[in-house]
């Protein structure tokens, strides 16, 4: 098989980034460790789905829409970072001084309950999708075998987390994230060289902004969801480390999403020939650029679904530990999540109820921003209060009207 220049660029950049991401320096770096879990949760195969969805919604304005979504997600992250620094000391202290502190505690517990529901569904969904990718890519589809593989993966993650703890789950997650990010950066590098060769010609169209457009864009915010997982790593990381880790994860993921949309835009016109709005559309586009890249990008969904499922299991275990004030350890929480998900994958259609999980994530962000607003008001931080007040209305719109990107 004769490889083109773009094939060599794809292969070389994948190996280069994989070596960097698995280097001892990053493996021992606590900031990177704190960033890996939120990064794994943010960057899933959603980055593949975002491109066709944005093209469908706004055409060649996709990169501007993606930049706006990334900025909005960062501002929502700012509300959660504010809560780590200012709300947690109020919520987790005993006794509380006044009714506002009691109300904030109740609101936090309710938001965590909402998030726990979303996490449980998401972990089952990610691994069910992982199994579907395995069988559709390498074997014949078999619902029973896919469910058995999903069950085996759930039990592996749950039991490994229970026996080995957070460090081992982060070890698994780090390798899955390294593979996924290496595929992503290889994709960005190859598309960049391709665009240089072709002159970055836009052949699509700019589509009008309608109410349905806003609904779709609101749903795409949930594709970049996952940064909140940093909030539930208090078992290992300090508040400062969790805040820095969340920021780093959002910076990296924001760069990935915006750069990918920018670089793939010259290929958008090909989507008119393949109207399916899923990750297979992007696989078809990359095949037109590089054969090696089209194979690499097929491995991305496997690594991304596994890393995202581990990330959400970690966060769910940390949430259980925080809500029970340490009576149930994070390790036991990992196992509980896995066992609940085993029941779910055998009794319910995960693909049908993921829409409810997406709404739950949006509602969780709304509740967390409301907590940040009240704490900012209590501490007389008027600038932050004005920001969070504005975000509350935006998130209320997303919760009610957003279309599930899943």
| Residue 204 pLDDT > 70 | no
The encoded tokens of residue 352 equal 């049908």
Lowest mean pLDDT segment, chosen from 75-84, 212-221, 340-349? 212-221
Cα diameter, the chain: 73
* pLDDT at residue number 75: 96
pLDDT of residue 271: 66
Angle, helices 62-82/239-264, rounded to nearest 10 degrees: 180
What 386-391 contacts at long range (C-beta under 8 Å, 24+ apart), as own/partner pairs, is 387/75, 387/78, 387/79, 388/79, 388/82, 391/75, 391/76, 391/79
**How buried is residue 97: exposed, middle or buried, by Cβ count under 10 Å (0-12/13-18/19+)?**
exposed
Token reading at 261 = 């949309």
> What pLDDT is recorded for position 176?
85
**Res 352: pLDDT:** 72
Cα separation, 386 vs 398, in Å, equals 19
Angle at 199 between CA 197 and CA 203, to 5 degrees: 125
| Domains (range + CATH), the chain | 5-401 (1.20.1740.10)
If one counts every other C-beta atom within 10 angstroms of the C-beta of residue 71, the result is 12
Give the rounded percent of residues in the chain with a pLDDT score beyond 90: 34
Closest CA to 249 of 67, 87, 35: 35
Q: What is the mean pLDDT of the chain?
A: 86
Main-chain dihedrals φ then ψ at residue 206, nearest 5 degrees: -95, 125
Tell me: pLDDT of 406 over 60. Answer: no
pTM: 0.89
What's the CA gap between 216 and 206, in Å, rounded?
16
Greater confidence (270 vs 385) lies with: 385
Measured in residues, the chain has a length of 406
Contact 225, 41 (CB under 8 A): yes
Q: Inter-axis angle of helices 239-264 and 46-58, to 10 degrees?
A: 50
Higher pLDDT, 91 or 203: 91
pLDDT band for position 15 (cuts 50, 70, 90): very high
Contact 57, 216 (CB under 8 A): yes
Give the residue-averaged pLDDT of 156-160.
92
The per-residue pLDDT for 56 is 82
* Predicted pLDDT of residue 342: 93
- Give pLDDT tens digits for 307-353: 888 888 888 888 888 888 788 888 899 999 999 999 988 988 776 77
- The 3-state secondary structure of the chain, one letter per residue: CCCCHHHHHHHHHHHHHHHHHCCHHHHHCHHHHHHHHHHHHHCCCHHHHHHHHHHHHHECCHHHHHHHHHHHHHHHHHHHHHHHHHHHHHHCCCCCCCHHHHHHHHHHHHHHHHHHHHHHHHHHHHHHHHHHHHHHHHCCCCHHHHHHHHHHHHHHHHHHHHHHCHHHHHHHHHHHHHHHHHHHHHHHHHHHHHHHHHCCCCCCCECCCCHHHHHHHHHHHHHHCCHHHHHHCCCCCCHHHHHHHHHHHHHHHHHHHHHHHHHHHHHHHHHHHCCCCCHHHHHHHHHHHCHHHHHHHHHHHHHHHHHHHHHHHHHHHHHHHHHCCCCCCHHHHHHHHHHHHHHHHHHCCHHHHHHHHHHHHHHHHHHHHHHHHHHHHHCCCHHHHHHHHHHHHHHHHHHHHCCCCC
């Amino acid at each position: 098989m004769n490889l083109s220049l773009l094939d060599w660029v794809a292969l070389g950049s994948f190996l280069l980034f994989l070596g960097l991401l698995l280097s001892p320096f990053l493996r021992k770096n606590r900031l990177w460790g704190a960033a890996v879990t939120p990064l794994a949760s943010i960057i899933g195969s959603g980055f593949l789905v975002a491109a066709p969805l944005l093209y469908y919604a706004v055409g060649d304005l996709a990169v501007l829409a993606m930049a706006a979504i990334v900025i909005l997600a960062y501002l929502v992250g700012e509300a959660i970072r504010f809560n780590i620094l200012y709300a947690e000391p109020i919520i987790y202290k005993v006794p509380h001084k006044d009714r506002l502190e009691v109300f904030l505690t109740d609101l936090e517990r309710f938001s965590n309950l909402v998030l726990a529901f979303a996490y449980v569904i998401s972990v089952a969904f990610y691994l069910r999708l992982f199994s579907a990718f395995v069988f559709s890519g390498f074997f014949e589809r078999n619902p029973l075998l896919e469910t058995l593989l999903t069950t085996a993966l759930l039990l592996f993650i749950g039991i490994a987390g229970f026996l080995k703890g957070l460090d081992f789950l982060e070890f698994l997650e780090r390798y899955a994230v390294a593979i996924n990010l290496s595929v992503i950066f290889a994709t960005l590098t190859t598309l960049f060289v391709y665009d240089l060769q072709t002159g970055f010609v836009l052949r699509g169209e700019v589509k009008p902004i309608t109410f349905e457009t806003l609904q779709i864009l609101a749903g795409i915010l949930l594709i970049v969801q996952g940064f909140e997982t940093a909030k539930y790593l208090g078992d290992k990381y300090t508040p400062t480390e969790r805040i820095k880790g969340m920021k780093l994860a959002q910076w990296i993921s924001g760069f990935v999403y915006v750069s990918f949309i920018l670089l793939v835009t010259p290929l958008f016109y090909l989507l008119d020939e393949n109207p399916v709005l899923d990750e297979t559309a992007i696989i078809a586009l990359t095949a037109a650029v590089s054969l090696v890249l089209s194979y690499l990008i097929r491995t991305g969904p496997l690594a991304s679904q596994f890393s995202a499922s581990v990330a959400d299991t970690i966060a769910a275990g940390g949430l259980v530990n925080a809500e029970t004030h340490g009576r149930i350890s994070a390790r036991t929480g990992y196992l509980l999540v896995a066992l609940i998900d085993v029941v779910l994958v055998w009794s319910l259609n995960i693909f049908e109820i993921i829409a409810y999980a997406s709404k739950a994530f949006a509602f969780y962000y709304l509740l967390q921003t409301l907590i940040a607003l009240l704490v900012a008001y209590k501490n007389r931080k008027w600038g932050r209060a004005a920001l969070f007040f504005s975000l509350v209305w935006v998130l209320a719109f997303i919760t009610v009207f957003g279309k599930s990107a899943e």
